[in-house]
Structure formats: structure tokens, C-alpha cells
Amino acid sequence: MNLTFFGAAREVTGSCYLVESEGLRFLVDCGMFQGGKAAEIKNRHVPRFDPETLDFVLLTHAHIDHSGLIPRLVNLGFRGRVYCTDATVDLLKVMWPDSAFILEKEAEWRNYAKHKRRGELKTETAPLYTVAQAQAALKRLERVAYDEAIQPHERVRVCFRDAGHILGAAIVEVWLQEAGQTRKLVFSGDLGMPSRPLMNDPTPIHEADYLLVEATYGNRLHKTLAATIEEFVDAINHTLVHKKGNVIIPSFAVGRTQEIIYLLTSFIRQGRIPPHTAIFVDSPMAEAATEVTLKHMGELDVDARELMAWTRHNDAGPYIRFTESVEDSMALNKISQGAVIISASGMCDAGRIKHHLKFNLPRPECSVIISGFQAQGTLGRKLVDGARTVKIFREWVPVRADLYTLGGLSAHADRDALLGWLGHFGRPPQTTFVVHGEEETAIGFAETIHKRLGWPAEVPVVGASYELKGGKAHLR
């Protein structure tokens, strides 16, 4: 059996692993690379395997850095099925067309800019994939329930376990038969932080011959959730009650928005912020993702289900409105106080959030709450780094609003949580591969595993291919 790493090797995006065994070939994840020009080039590389010869794909979760190149794979000739959880299918119905729409717009804009610059267009850039191609790829998805064994091939048995990362996210267990022997591979996917709102804790796994474990935060400990909650409550009360302004929350549409609505509702229930606080969710994608979340309530943790029951039977809950049209979104700018506005994008670089920042940043009575990772170069990062003025829609906007940064809401397990999950293995995997972490972090986490658990751990480079034999891995 061979295992090849095509992405998320010494980096965090582009998850894609190829397993080959006696003519059988399948992928686990086929994600997009993200972050600037270099990533764009990698996304356009022709894969070093023939998509037509793949038997199937196993998909851990909906995030674009795990799923985003599947529409392209289908377009390049992949004819098989893509197995993933029920909720992942529902999320992808929203996310793939949205991703394709952005790719189409970017290509359009680039061609237009080129045309303007050179007067004529000699080579037109095509989008990586189109909305129509994304729709076609959706037809390949095959729904699988958590904890239910499936057999996508006569020699392969697969089970998806709750990873507690985002709705539908899974750890994938694979049992593969080769020459009369069964070997077990475990792909951790992205692992959630235990005790986080909405999500269950990652399912403990007890054994594997070969393990791939993510290491996004393999070198870091998150702020505690309790401290984050205190800070969040203070920010809301200080802004709405004392300063009489608005709270603006830039947020990722999938996961984070639902988590924030959950937290605000629980604060109201506990009497910690004013009842009937007005919450506006201004992002069509966040609304769609919230609908998918409500459809899959059964997969959320007990506290979330209990809080939902409380809101249904109690009218003291929040006033939540989803704005649809651009006009409704613009109308929010007429509200001078008492509103919590949640909008995308999460890094403030695109979308409706920019309007809300433009109107509320210059007002000292308002606050901006940053709850997620802000990449270098984004508007969100400039705010976090303390810029006094920022440019929005070609205008300089003074930053007079208060800025809060909440550190404890990460969707990824931190170093100790990862070690805790690894600690459930009854016997060490024969080979452990550390993936999905920046180079330094991944190498550091492999050392931590070795030091704390005594297991040797490999940190594959991109393109590395290993022969897996008798529990050992040999670089080919």
C-alpha cells in the first residue's frame, strides 16, 4: 500500500492524500490551497495522478481547504462517488456554488483589468471552476451517517466519527484489506476543541496502524473559553448599555456565526446582557449555513439542543433578524445604537462587513469584536494591529470605536487537546504522520508527540510518497 501527500504537508491548506493498493486508488480530501498568489498557482497545477483512475473520494468536512478542489477533480474526469456526512452534503450545497461564484467573479475582474491595461485581451483567464461545474460535482456526493460502517470497495470498510470541528466534520477510519491482511488507517481531519459551544468533543479513537493527525495549533494553547465569555459579555454591556452604540462582529459564515448567536442567546437566558438584544445577521451565506445547522440540530451538543428548546418556549430571547437584500443591509446603517451586527467576511476583506465598519468605526460609542484568525494583509489584521485609520472603499476611515479580540473560540484543538485525543490510543499507531500545520509547528508537534507519548512521528513534505508495509512506512 502506498500513501502520498499532495497537500496540507508542512502547511495548513490543500488537504489531499492518495491511498493506492493493488490497483485500488482513492483520495482522502481534495482541498483548495489558500493564501495569495502561490496558492492560486498550486490550485491550477494538473494533479500528479489521473482523476479518471480514482475509485472514490472520502471527504472529512466541508471547509474549502479540504473540499474545494473536488469540483475541479470531477471536471478533470473523476467518475466515482464522494463519501461524506449528511451535514457536509448540505453545507457543500451552499459552499461549492458560492466558492465557484467568487472564482468566476475574480476571473471576470482579472480579464477586465487586463483588457483595460493592454487595450485588448489576448489570453483570457478561465475560473478554476464555474457554478455549473460546482453544481455537477454536488451530484457525486454520497451521504453517510456518523458511526455507520460503509464499504465503498470490496476491500475497504470506512467509518466516519464526529470530529467536533464544524457541523458534519469527521475523523475517518479506514480498514483496508491487502494480501489477506487488514490494516487500519485513521485520518483525523480537523479536530475540534473539547467543551466548545455547539459542537461535541472529538470522538476518541483507540487504535490505528497508520495515523494522520492535524497540527494547526500544535504549538499553542488557546485562551480559556471562560475568560473569552467574560470578555464578550463585558464588550456587549459596555457598548450597548453604557456607551449606547452598536457592536459589529466580523464573522465566518459557517460555524462561527452560529456559535456567536448561541453565545448571545445563552447570555440573555442567564440575564447577563439585556433581554431582546437586537441581533442582525447580515450575510446570505451565514443565513444558509444557519438553516443547515438548524436542520442538523441532533448533531449538536446537549447544551445547544437544550438552549433551542428554551428559546422556543420563552419569549425573552433575542430579536434575531437575517437581512436578505442589499437595501435591508444598507438600512442597518441607519441604526445608531442597540444593535449587534454580525456580518461576513470574517477577515473584513470583502462583503457587507465593510459597509458596517465604514459607518461604525469612526464612532467612539461603538465596538468591533474580532473573534477569528486574521491573516496578514487583511483589513481585520490592520484593526487588530491597532491601526488608527484604515482605507475602506477608497476612503480613509478613522478608528475611534473600541476593539475587542476574543481568543478562545477557535474551531481547532490546541496542543494539549491534540495530545489528549492522541492519549486515547490504547497502543501507539505503528506510524504517525503529522499534517495540516505550518512547517515549524508540524515539526515541533512531532517532537512533542515523541517527548510526551514516546511515539515516533513523521512530518511529510508535499509530494512525499510512502510505502506502508507491516506497520512501517518507507519513503519511496
Residues within the interface to Zn ion (CB under 5 A): 63, 190
Q: Which residue has the cell 490497483?
A: 23
Q: Minimum Å distance from CB 214 to Zn ion? A: 9
CB of 437 to Zn ion, least distance (A): 13
CB nearer to Zn ion: give 176 or 254: 254
Which of 168, 460 has the CB closer to Zn ion?
168
Q: Which residue has the cell 485513521?
A: 186
Residue whose CB is less far from Zn ion, 190 or 299:
190
Q: Which is nearer to Zn ion, 21 or 188 (CB)?
A: 188
Least Å distance, CB 280 to Zn ion, is: 27
**Minimal distance in Å, beta carbon 61 to Zn ion?**
6
Of 63 and 354, CB closest to Zn ion: 63
29: which residues sit within 8 A by CB, 6+ positions away? 8, 15, 16, 17, 57, 58, 59, 60, 66, 67, 187, 189
Residue 22 CB neighbours (<10 A)? 11
**Residue (413 or 459) nearer to Zn ion, CB:** 413
Shortest distance in whole angstroms from residue 18 CB to Zn ion: 20
CB of 394 to Zn ion, least distance (A): 34
Longest dimension (CA), the chain: 71
In the complex with Zn ion, the residue whose CB is nearer, 198 or 339, is: 198
CB of 41 to Zn ion, least distance (A): 23
Terminal-residue alpha carbon distance, the chain? 11
Residue 98: CB atoms within 10 Å: 20
- Between 90 and 190, name the residue whose CB sits nearer to Zn ion: 190
- Cα gap 304→362, rounded to integer Å: 36
Min dist CB 251 to Zn ion, Å, is 16
| Minimum gap (Å) between residue 31 Cβ and Zn ion | 9
63 versus 415: smaller Cβ distance to Zn ion: 63
Residue 226 CA to residue 232 CA, distance in Å, equals 10
Q: Which is nearer to Zn ion, 63 or 356 (CB)?
A: 63
CB of 435 to Zn ion, least distance (A): 13
